[in-house]
Amino acid sequence: MRRAPKDTAESVRKISRRGLFLGGVQLAFAGALGLRMQHLQVDQADEFRLLAEENRINIRLIPPTRGQIFDRNGIIIAGNEPSYRITMVKEDAGNVDEVITRLSALVELDEDELNRALTEMQRSAPFLPVTVAERVTWDDISRVAVNAPALPGVTPEVGLSRSYPRRGDFAHVVGYVGPVSERDLARYEIPDPVLRIPRFQIGKVGIEARHEEVLRGRAGAKRVEVNAVGRVMRELDRREGTPGADMQLTVDTKLQSYINARLGEESASVVVMDVTNGDLLGIASSPSYDPNKFVRGISVSDFGELRENDHRPLASKTVQDAYPPGSTFKMVTVLAALDAGVVAPDETVWCPGHMEVAGRRFHCWKRAGHGHMNLEQSLRESCDVYYYDLALKVGIERIAETARRLGLGEAFSIGMSAVTEGLVPNKEWKERERGSGWVIGDTVNASIGQGFVLSSPLQLAVMTARLATGKEVTPRLVRRIGDTETVEGVGNDLGFNENHLRQIRRAMFAVSNNRRGTAYGSRIIDETFRMAGKTGTSQVRNITAAERARGVTRNEDLPWNRRDHALFVNYAPYEAPKIAVSVVVEHGGGGSAAAAPIARDVTLQALYGNDPPLDAYPSKDRERIRSQQERLQQVLRENDPDGRSRA
Amino acid sequence: MSYLEYTVKTVPAGWRKMLFINWPLVILLTAIAGVGLLMLYSVAGGSMSPWAEPQMKRYALGLAVMFIVAMVPIWFWRNMSVMAYLVALALLVAVEFFGTVGMGAQRWINLGFMRLQPSELMKIAMVMVLAAYYDWLPIKKTSHPFWVLVPVFIILLPTFLVLTQPDLGTAILLVAGGGLMMFLAGVHWAYFATVIAAGIGGIYTVFLSRGTEWQLLKDYQFRRIDTFLDPSSDPLGAGYHITQAKIAMGSGGWTGRGFMQGTQSRLNFLPEKHTDFIFNTLAEEFGFIGGISLLILYVLILVFCIVSALQNRDRYSSLLILGIGVTFFLFFAVNMSMVMGLAPVVGVPLPLVSYGGSAMLVLMLAFGLVQSAHIHRPR
């Protein structure tokens, strides 16, 4: 079929028209595309450039190195030691199971941790390292390194981990660090982002917690380029963080270790203070615990054991526990009475073994009575009736005021956790807290440190230091933070009559140096280091009538937790005081028998800076002391971190 | 037969045909393919593998195919039109049974040396068969309802097959390409007005069907439309692609971030960076200048096609050239609209630039037809 020429011409015209029309539409559309391109790439270029940078650049924090804690001589108490862990990258490992099998032939792998790691590996991106073993030894690390070709994707990594080389010696002072918990984060209004780093550790108790901000330092940061799935392609730049500030304590590690060894498993606490500047040379609570266990994550059974123990190893008894001070409070009563002028040192009081006050009979510890007692005699023999008499004359308000001036009732902020303020009661306090009026019997009880009076071992040491110097000595535990020295803890004269203080000191000297003194058995023979002290025995319970009827009155016959607390405070040397010591042995029985020997040993250790020569001790004790010294040296050698690492 | 009208002696013969090839068009095609190779090299991180090298071989093959097709007289191809359509249709049916599943759709037949996408072939075959149809149909009958229904059937049959794969992008391209062929052939305006009105009504119905038992689109297709309309509604899900694509483009600025310096594509923020979204890589690395240059190259190809078609007095030839031009236009217009956030993501590659064998070969074959029509035009 042939087509008419006209037909063809018309067809061509129509195609041309429509073709041109469509061509125009196409060009217009292309123009629109060009405009869109211009809109995106020219008008909005800056915004999109910013978004592209946000996409690719990630900021990663570099955790700062935690500040170290040293003792007064520069010995490390809390340090950072390299900790090794083994990580694995799934995509590099290829056959994960096979590599794990080879790895477990070299290194002992914890089943739980391995299972956790395998689950994590399945969930996370294949290029992210997953920790398969933590806290492995250097030997393990070197075995892995040597066998690296057979272990694709396995990398030994080194990090820093908190360590406490002195283990239990400073557990209550320095505390420990642990993983950041939700509660830790809640303490801050705006938590430092560094706390969100996995495995980051934060101070939980003690100095570690109280000085957390100082010790932590500031995080550094690095900017890295990441791809769409988060793999780091390269590091763009990095800003190093500021390491945490180092701290120096006033404590002497050698003395502290000795005290811990001396206390052993006794539930006790000792505070040794430099009376010239308030430095705490030793501040130990026993039994103790190993803070390193907490850093690693303590097991439930270990923690349960610590919590169940009736000797309360977790308690920081030196500052956190308050005890009835017992007879160690008698210096306060007598000082108040002397200052009030209601008694003269030579005035005597008749002690028949008890005293009737408001129809109630108050006993002296010596049922038979002491007879005529003056100030010195009453203190050295610890006659209770003498102080009942003084208290009635001087009244509770002046006693309480004197106690406060001597540091009782004050919570000293030394950087440890949960420092108690104890209790110095007066009329207003009883009215407020107990809702009942003060009765005269309360004053009588308070005069010998019983009843409502409570004080911590730290407060007793401060009291003793203030009696020894007459100055406002305040305890200092942190000597230096970074490069900043803290102020020494010696203040102004307290304003007590020097003559009165001298009377009390002489009486305290008699306690441990007069043949009739309650602590004569724990005297020091070396004349340059003789001490002045005071025993105390504070009742935990009242002996009931029923018990008395049964004849159970002796401490040794009671269950441990109902026996009396044994206390002793002292300072030395008597002529030129250098240190003040307080010792509390919970349920230890009598102060002279349980607390005074410890105080004497600690005093000598502190003053000599080493084991004292045996002739510092009374001759009949020397043989026993020698074997004790040998035994403690053995314990100290076992505990010494340097000795351990050599072994 | 209208080819008898040709003064055969005036048509070049033998190797002389090479002189009459539309060389500017060849240069333009090569330039675009060159841009594609450059970008494939870049997105592979500066490496010929895995994309640039095979793509280069395919282009070489495509060029050879184009020359061979160009040498064969256009009247031979016109006589083959119906056959081509039937073969493409048969392959579309075959893909239903033997096709390889990829990306949730049955689209490929594995031929061993390459994967064939029959739907790509159909785009060209449909242009051929419609051009032949309107060449055969007396002009007076063009707008007759019966003779309008025939091409509608020709268009809808393969479209239906493609939709069942399901490949919405290609289906839209087939309908649009076929419809525009009818428009070029001179079908009355009224038909198009009716269809467009019906189309709008149809889209409305599709949206109404959402969530009902007779839902007309798959959920993922609805979601794509949602995220197209508001990419920020799902920035980490389906909207992620669009958002990242726009960031890639926008961050290029005027002059781009430099060859192989595009962070969005290099760090894989950009999805499908070697196929559908390759234009964003270009725009990121060479900026507005690079993007607009490629657009100009595409427009020049269109211009050459239109000029060639208007010069050609043979009805089959001019319809074929215009049809191929329109198909080419639809390819890059839909792709660019999609990657610039002007259209939903429907999976249409950028012609001659995106990595992919079928599309490249079929396009080169189509341009071979254009060249053949150009060489063998009546003089």
The domains of chain A, with CATH numbers, are 67-247 (3.90.1310.10), 253-293+315-646 (3.40.710.10)
Are A41 and B250 in contact (CB < 8 Å)? Answer: yes
Q: What percent of chain B has pLDDT over 70?
A: 91
Q: Using a CB-CB distance cutoff of 8 angstroms, which residues of chain A are in contact with residue B263?
A: 52-53, 55-56, 225
Cβ-based contacts under 8 A for chains A and B: 150
In sequence order, what E strands does B51-183 have? 100-102, 105-110, 115-116
Are A40 and B302 in contact (CB < 8 Å)? Answer: no
Residue located via tokens 């005529």: A372
- What is the per-residue burial (b if ≥16 Cβ within 10 Å, else e) of A51-62? bbeebbeeeebe
Are B252 and A1 in contact (CB < 8 Å)? Answer: no
Q: What are phi and psi of B176, to 5 degrees?
A: -65, -45
B203 min Cα distance to partner chain A (Å): 22
Q: Does A623 touch chain B (CB under 8 A)?
A: no
B201 min Cα distance to partner chain A (Å): 24
Q: Does A59 touch chain B (CB under 8 A)?
A: no
Task: Please say whether the beta carbons of A166 and A78 come within 8 A.
Answer: no
Residue located via tokens 């010195």: A376
Say if residue B239's pLDDT is above 80.
no
Hey, where are the domains in chain B? Answer: 2-375
Q: Using a CB-CB distance cutoff of 8 angstroms, which residues of chain A are in contact with residue B308?
A: none
Are B186 and A14 in contact (CB < 8 Å)? Answer: yes
SS3 A59: strand
Q: Does A229 touch chain B (CB under 8 A)?
A: yes
Q: What's the rounded mean pLDDT across residues B92-118?
A: 70
pLDDT tens digits, B33-84: 999 999 999 988 888 888 899 999 999 999 999 999 999 999 899 999 999 9
State yes or no: cis peptide before B50, omega within 30 of 0. Answer: yes
Q: What's the rounded mean pLDDT across residues B187-207?
A: 88
The whole-number pLDDT of residue A154 equals 86
Are A19 and B1 in contact (CB < 8 Å)? Answer: no
- CA dihedral (A270, A271, A274, A280) positive or negative: positive
Test mutation, B5, B140, B247, B311, chain A, max A CBs within 10 A:
B247
Q: Does A13 touch chain B (CB under 8 A)?
A: no
With CA atoms as reference, the chain B residue closest to A44 would be B250
A163 min Cα distance to partner chain B (Å): 41
Alpha carbon distance B272, A214 (integer Å): 51
Residue A287 CA: distances (Å) to CA of A169, A172, A220, A259, A293: 10, 10, 40, 11, 15
The chain-wide mean pLDDT, for chain A, equals 89
Are A19 and B318 in contact (CB < 8 Å)? Answer: yes
B343 min Cα distance to partner chain A (Å): 11
Residue A377 CA: distances (Å) to CA of A325, A370, A386: 20, 9, 10
**What is the DSSP secondary-structure string of A418-440?**
S----B---HHHHHHHHSS---H
Give the catalytic positions of A in this structure: 327
Q: Does A4 touch chain B (CB under 8 A)?
A: no
A60 min Cα distance to partner chain B (Å): 18
Are B295 and A30 in contact (CB < 8 Å)? Answer: yes
Are B186 and A15 in contact (CB < 8 Å)? Answer: yes
Q: Using a CB-CB distance cutoff of 8 angstroms, which residues of chain B are in contact with residue A25?
A: none
- Give the confidence band of B8 by pLDDT, cuts at 50, 70, 90: low
Q: Using a CB-CB distance cutoff of 8 angstroms, which residues of chain B are in contact with residue A56?
A: 263-264, 267, 269
Residue B75 CA: distances (Å) to CA of B14, B18, B87, B88, B363: 16, 18, 19, 20, 20
Alpha carbon distance B10, A171 (integer Å): 107
Are B248 and A52 in contact (CB < 8 Å)? Answer: yes
Say if residue B1's pLDDT is above 70.
no
What residues pair up with A360 in beta bridges, in sequence order? A357
Q: Does A25 touch chain B (CB under 8 A)?
A: no
Q: What's the rounded mean pLDDT across residues B265-286?
A: 88
Are B318 and A40 in contact (CB < 8 Å)? Answer: no
Are A225 and B340 in contact (CB < 8 Å)? Answer: no
Residue A538 CA: distances (Å) to CA of A320, A451, A542, A612: 18, 10, 11, 30
Q: Using a CB-CB distance cutoff of 8 angstroms, which residues of chain B are in contact with residue A224?
A: none
Task: Please say whether the beta carbons of A363 and A353 come within 8 A.
Answer: yes
A25 min Cα distance to partner chain B (Å): 11
Q: Does A19 touch chain B (CB under 8 A)?
A: yes
> At A564, which amino acid appears?
D
Say if residue B355's pLDDT is above 70.
yes
**Residue of B283, B302, B315 with shortest CB distance to A23:** B302
* Structure token pair of residue A480: 């230096």
The whole-number pLDDT of residue A542 equals 61
The length of chain B in residues reads 379
A9 min Cα distance to partner chain B (Å): 8
Alpha carbon distance A135, A84 (integer Å): 5
With CA atoms as reference, the chain B residue closest to A31 would be B295
**Residue of B249, B264, B295 with shortest CB distance to A40:** B249
- Which has the minimum average pLDDT: A332-336, A402-406, B153-157, B373-377? B373-377
A224 min Cα distance to partner chain B (Å): 12
Alpha carbon distance A571, A595 (integer Å): 14
Q: Does A49 touch chain B (CB under 8 A)?
A: yes
> At A402, which amino acid appears?
T
With CA atoms as reference, the chain A residue closest to B296 would be A30
Are B267 and A233 in contact (CB < 8 Å)? Answer: yes
Give A416's contacts (C-beta < 8 A, 6+ positions apart): A172, A173, A175, A206, A207, A210, A283, A316, A318, A319, A320, A477
Are B139 and A11 in contact (CB < 8 Å)? Answer: yes
The dihedral region occupied by A149, where left means phi > 0, alpha psi between -120 and 50, and beta the remainder, is alpha
Are A33 and B295 in contact (CB < 8 Å)? Answer: yes
Say if residue B337's pLDDT is above 60.
yes
- Indicate the pTM of the whole model: 0.73
Q: Parallel, antiparallel, or unpaired for β A76-89 and A129-136? A: antiparallel
Give B178's contacts (C-beta < 8 A, 6+ positions apart): B126, B130, B151, B154, B155, B159
Ranges of residues in chain A with a pLDDT under 50 are 1-6, 645-647
> At A504, which amino acid appears?
I
Say if residue B196's pLDDT is above 70.
yes
The whole-number pLDDT of residue B232 equals 65
Q: Does A233 touch chain B (CB under 8 A)?
A: yes
Are B309 and A226 in contact (CB < 8 Å)? Answer: no
Task: Please say whether the beta carbons of A461 and A569 come within 8 A.
Answer: yes
SS3 A14: helix
Q: Using a CB-CB distance cutoff of 8 angstroms, which residues of chain A are in contact with residue B309?
A: 15, 19
The whole-number pLDDT of residue A236 equals 84
Q: Using a CB-CB distance cutoff of 8 angstroms, which residues of chain A are in contact with residue B247?
A: 48, 51-52, 55
Q: Using a CB-CB distance cutoff of 8 angstroms, which residues of chain B are in contact with residue A226?
A: 267
Q: Parallel, antiparallel, or unpaired for β A69-70 and A247-249? A: parallel
With CA atoms as reference, the chain A residue closest to B284 would be A41
Alpha carbon distance B257, B251 (integer Å): 8
